[in-house]
Amino acid sequence: MLVLSRKETDKIVFPTLGITVEVLRLRGNVARIGIDAPSDVPVYRHELTDRKHLEFSTDQNSSDSLRELIHAVRHRLDAAAEALNRLHEQCEYDRNGKAQQTVMEIFRELRMLEEEANSAIAPNEARAPRALLVEDDVNERELLAGYLRSHGIETTTANDGQDALDYLSLHALPDVVLLDMQMPRCSGRCFIRKIRTVSDLRKLKVFAVSGTDPAEFGIDVGPGGIDRWFSKPINPERLVDEIAKQVGLTATAV
């Protein structure tokens, strides 16, 4: 064994192997070491040398693990987005706008990460439908969201049309929006008119879930308006079946 004393930035070279070891930093009794080696030379920490190499397979267990990981990533992204929303509100009086700009850049990065997580599932892999439920009545919102989730539909909720617009601008798009029509701030009619003028949102599936008649709002039922209209009190089983049919994905009771 060769024993050497080295200072920071000193190097040890193995010329015949093409390997260089450099002392990057010394802090107390801990040394940070950099190792430059050819791509075909494996380098491990000593505690990993007795472990077998990792193998990746496409069996069912691996697929299940991937889905669980993606679900966990989405959960963390939602939590991060909520925290950033609060921070964004606190930046309202930022004079030069730099803080708000930074927050929006983080939002865009989170959205890209979420889209990458969604695309990590192979095209032939089954995944659950994703819905955005927009409802200002807390009880109705939570009851319907709970039913949808229990039937295999990943459901995010928004308090009104403006909250829904904010969500869509910062997250990967859902498969369908379930929209109450009578809400404060941004009503269902206001929400529809806004998204149908935005290229990224124009083709988004929107189902109205309302106790009123479509004629009262002057919105077409079909392309460019509401895709389907479900009158309250709704039949939740029919709604789940229609979501699965419209988005081409399978909703399964859990």
In what order do the strands lie in the sheet containing 176-179? Answer: 154-158, 130-134, 176-179, 205-210, 228-231
pLDDT at 251: 56
Half-sphere exposure of 235 (CA within 13 A, CB side): 5
pLDDT at 147: 93
138 and 238 together in one domain: yes
Q: Is the dihedral of CA 121, 123, 125, 128 positive or negative?
A: positive
Does 4 reside within a domain? Answer: no
pLDDT at 157: 93
State the pLDDT confidence band at 141, using cuts at 50, 70 and 90.
very high
> Could you list the residue range(s) of the whole structural domain that residue 192 is in?
128-254
Instruction: Give the three-state DSSP class for 35.
Output: strand
Q: What is the DSSP string of 77-92?
A: HHHHHHHHHHHHHHGG
Q: What gap in Å lies between CA 113 and CA 103, rounded to an integer? A: 15
151 and 222 together in one domain: yes
Query: What is the rounded average pLDDT of the residues 183-193?
Result: 88
pLDDT at 232: 85
Q: Is the pLDDT of residue 54 over 70?
A: no
Mark which of 102, 127, 152 sits at the end of a domain.
127
Structure tokens belonging to residue 232: 């309250």
Please list the alpha-helical segments (H only) found in 38-90.
Answer: 60-90
212 and 97 together in one domain: no
251 phi and psi angles, rounded to 5 deg: -95, 130
pLDDT digits (tens, 9 = 90+) for 202-227: 889 999 998 877 777 777 777 778 88
Where does residue 192 rank: exposed (0-12), middle (13-18), buried (19+ CB within 10 A)?
buried
How many domains does the chain fold into? Answer: 3
Q: Is the pLDDT of residue 32 over 60?
A: yes
For residues 80 and 109, is the Cβ–Cβ distance under 8 A? no
pTM of the model: 0.55
72 and 38 together in one domain: no
Q: What gap in Å lies between CA 126 and CA 144, rounded to an integer? A: 23
Q: What gap in Å lies between CA 246 and CA 223, rounded to an integer? A: 13
pLDDT at 28: 61
Does 6 reside within a domain? Answer: no
pLDDT at 74: 67
Structure tokens belonging to residue 28: 């107390």
176 and 252 together in one domain: yes
pLDDT digits (tens, 9 = 90+) for 86-117: 666 666 666 666 666 666 667 666 666 666 66
120 and 29 together in one domain: no
59 and 20 together in one domain: no
pLDDT at 254: 39
Cis-peptide, bond into residue 123, ω within 30° of zero: no
**Of 30, 91, 13, 121, residue with least CA distance to 22:** 13
Which amino acid would we find at residue 26? Answer: L
pLDDT at 95: 61
223 and 139 together in one domain: yes
Q: Are strands 205-210 and 176-179 parallel, antiparallel or unpaired?
A: parallel
178 and 222 together in one domain: yes
Does 181 reside within a domain? Answer: yes
More confident residue, 92 or 228: 228
Does 41 reside within a domain? Answer: yes
